[in-house]
């Protein structure tokens, strides 16, 4: 059982793994109809993100681009890391399978490893880890078998697992993220879902759904720039708010949590 220590969540983390976007990042999978502005823009945003992780107290392992996988800089989808185990996923998009192999080599230095096996699929962006509970989004990338396997792997670690159908957005973390201290940041569409009843729900304003993908790290809270209503909602928490430009990451269906694995 975790004792107030959240690994993929906000508290007590000291390390992160990230990967640089490659020159062909714009060939990645996206549902957004706005093209990214180019490599220079996303590299600038990524560099600011890495600086924010370091300012929040994390030692960052920054991996080089993986040209064969344009989406590989969204490293969160390749693993779920808890204090006692790193679960290597099986991405739901066939084009992304293989990204997880290099990540396993890095995480194996710090944790025992387990893997999601076929026919299970699981993206880390569909997994919210709190102190004692794991919420798994059933989406176009994560299927019930992948969720079942994750539950079996994490139950011995002391976690209970619940599943949530993902109606809107690519992943569960597109619409909900744990902020620690019993608080969950959610979109209006998910605010009343039974799986969130045990949490103090902070609901992002209408029109600011993208800001639900905010990331608490220790005493810092990373938020996407340009969502003033969400910023006002979060200011009373007393955390160090860090607003980052995520525009080109957003255009590739990514967000703040997607760009790193924290543990």
The mean pLDDT value of the chain amounts to 95
pTM above 0.85, yes or no: yes
Residue 8 lies in a domain: no
203-247 pLDDT, tens digit per residue, is 999 999 999 999 999 999 999 999 999 999 999 999 999 999 999
Alpha helices in 90-160 (DSSP H): 99-107, 144-154
pLDDT at 191 (0 to 100): 95
Q: What is the pLDDT of residue 74?
A: 98
| pLDDT given for residue 167 in this prediction | 84
DSSP codes joined into one string, 151-204: HHHHGGGT-EEEEEE--SSSSGGGTEEEEETTEEEE-TTTTT-GGGTTSEEEEP
- For residue 86, the domain's CATH number is 3.75.10.10
What is the Cα–Cα distance from 205 to 230, expressed in whole angstroms?
7
174-201: b or e for each residue (b if 16 or more CB lie within 10 Å)?
Answer: bbbbbbbeebbbbbeebeebebbeebeb
Active site residue 171: yes
In a domain, 97, yes or no: yes
How many C-beta atoms surround the C-beta of residue 97 within 10 A? Answer: 15
* Domain carrying residue 131: 15-262
Residue 32 annotated as catalytic: no
CB 47, CB 91: distance < 8 Å? no
From CA 244, how far away is CA 235, in angstroms rounded? 15
Higher confidence at residue 11 or residue 14? 14
In this structure, what DSSP letter does residue 206 have? T
Return the closest-CA partner of residue 139 out of 199, 104, 184, 93. Answer: 93
Within a domain: 32: yes
What tens digit of pLDDT does each residue of 184-198 get? 999 999 999 999 999
Is 118's pLDDT higher than 90?
Answer: yes
Local confidence band at 15 (pLDDT 50, 70, 90 cut-offs): very high
Instruction: Give the mean pLDDT of 131-142.
Output: 97
Alpha-helical segments (H) within 34-98: 39-55
Our count of domains for the chain comes to 1
Catalytic residue among 46, 69, 220, 258: 258
Distances (CA, A) of 232 to 170, 203, 223, 229, 241: 26, 12, 11, 5, 11
Residue 5 pLDDT class (50, 70, 90 cuts): very low
Report pLDDT digits (tens) over 56-71: 999 999 999 999 999 9
In a domain, 196, yes or no: yes
Domain for residue 242, yes or no? yes
**Percentage of the residues of the chain whose pLDDT score is greater than 90:** 93
Question: With 90 as the cut, is the pLDDT of residue 4 above it?
Answer: no
**Is residue 1 one of the residues assigned to a domain?**
no
Q: Is 58 within the bounds of a domain?
A: yes
CA angle 245, 74, 160 (to 5 degrees): 110
Active-site residue identified among 46, 69, 171, 220? 171
| Percentage of the chain lying above the pLDDT 70 cut | 96
Q: Is the pLDDT of residue 132 over 80?
A: yes
Q: Is 60 helix (H, G, I), strand (E, B) or coil?
A: strand
Q: Is residue 101 part of a domain?
A: yes
List the end-to-end C-alpha distance of the chain, in Å, as a whole number: 16
């Amino acid at each position: 059982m975790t004792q107030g220590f959240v690994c993929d969540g906000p508290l007590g983390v000291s390390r992160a793994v990230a990967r640089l976007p490659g020159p062909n990042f714009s060939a990645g999978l996206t549902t957004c109809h706005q093209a990214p502005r180019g490599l220079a823009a996303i590299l600038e945003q990524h560099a600011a993100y890495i600086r924010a992780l370091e300012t929040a107290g994390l030692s960052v392992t920054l991996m080089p681009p993986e040209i064969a996988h344009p989406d590989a800089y969204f490293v969160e989808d390749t693993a779920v890391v808890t204090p006692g185990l790193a679960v290597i996923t099986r991405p739901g998009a066939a084009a992304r399978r293989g990204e997880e192999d290099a990540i396993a080599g890095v995480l194996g230095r710090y944790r025992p490893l387990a893997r999601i096996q076929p026919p299970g699929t699981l993206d880390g962006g569909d997994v919210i880890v709190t102190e004692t509970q794991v919420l798994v989004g059933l989406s176009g990338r994560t299927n019930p078998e992948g969720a079942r396997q994750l539950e079996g792997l994490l139950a011995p670690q002391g976690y209970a697992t619940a599943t949530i159908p993902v109606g809107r957005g690519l992943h569960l973390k597109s619409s909900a993220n744990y902020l620690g201290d019993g608080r969950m940041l959610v979109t209006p569409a998910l605010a009343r879902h039974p799986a969130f009843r045990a949490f103090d729900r902070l609901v992002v304003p209408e029109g600011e759904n993208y800001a639900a993908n905010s990331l608490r790290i220790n005493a810092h809270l990373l938020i996407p720039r340009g969502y003033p209503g969400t910023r006002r909602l979060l200011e009373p928490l007393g955390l160090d708010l860090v607003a980052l430009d995520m525009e080109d990451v957003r255009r590739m269906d990514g967000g703040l949590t997607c760009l790193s694995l924290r543990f």
